Amino acid sequence: MEISKLSGSELVSEANVTVQDFWAWAYSDILSNRNRSVFAEFLVAVALNLTHQPRIEWDAVDLTYGDKKIEVKSSAYVQSWQQKKLSLIKFDIAKKRGWDSKENVMADQESRSADCYIFCVYEEQDTQKVNILNLDKWSFIVVATEKLNEVFGNQKSVSLNRQSQTLIVHFRAA
């Protein structure tokens, strides 16, 4: 089934509300893990001019740029709940059996099906200054999947430290 991109002005039948009202109600907490993750995908999609079509929730990869498949992961030091200490910057890199939305098939075996991973870090550490919409506080780390496989093998997660920084190209949002 083809998903059409909504504008937000669509009316919810007989409820006197719009899709925009739903979005504001459901997704205003962009700092929460689930919403921040989708927001990070959106930021990467904007940077790559890929927002012309809606996001596919369960596809094997998050984005496709030309013939390149991209997996986007997000992490942050601060969360939308009360914390005793800052969170560790950690990313899921576990191999998975991906579902191809175009072919409607599940992969036979687990793998990292993207060509690269983009690790998105919301860097603000002061809870009084949190503004997830401030792109100056985001960093994006691009790692070839081949390099992840070579260095981390079957490891299921990776945290940001000196070892992982030797593998990456690091740049700030502009």
State the Cα–Cα distance between residues 118 and 122, nearest whole angstrom. Answer: 13
Q: Is residue 57 part of a domain?
A: yes
According to DSSP, residue 96 is labeled B
Task: Choose the weakest-confidence range: 9-13, 47-51, 109-113, 135-139.
Answer: 109-113
pLDDT in tens, 120-139: 999 999 999 999 999 999 99
Distance of CA 54 to the CA centre of its chain: 14
Task: List C-alpha distances in Å: 74 to 10, 71, 100.
Answer: 30, 10, 22
Cβ(53)–Cβ(5) under 8 Å? Answer: yes
Q: Is residue 18 part of a domain?
A: no
Q: Is residue 14 part of a domain?
A: no
Q: Is residue 157 part of a domain?
A: yes
Q: Is residue 24 part of a domain?
A: no
State the Cα–Cα distance between residues 11 and 6, nearest whole angstrom. Answer: 11
pLDDT at 35 over 70: yes
pTM, two decimals, is 0.86
Q: Is residue 134 part of a domain?
A: yes
Q: Is residue 20 part of a domain?
A: no
Look at the chain and report how many structural domains it folds into: 1
Identify the domain containing residue 145 by its residue range.
30-172
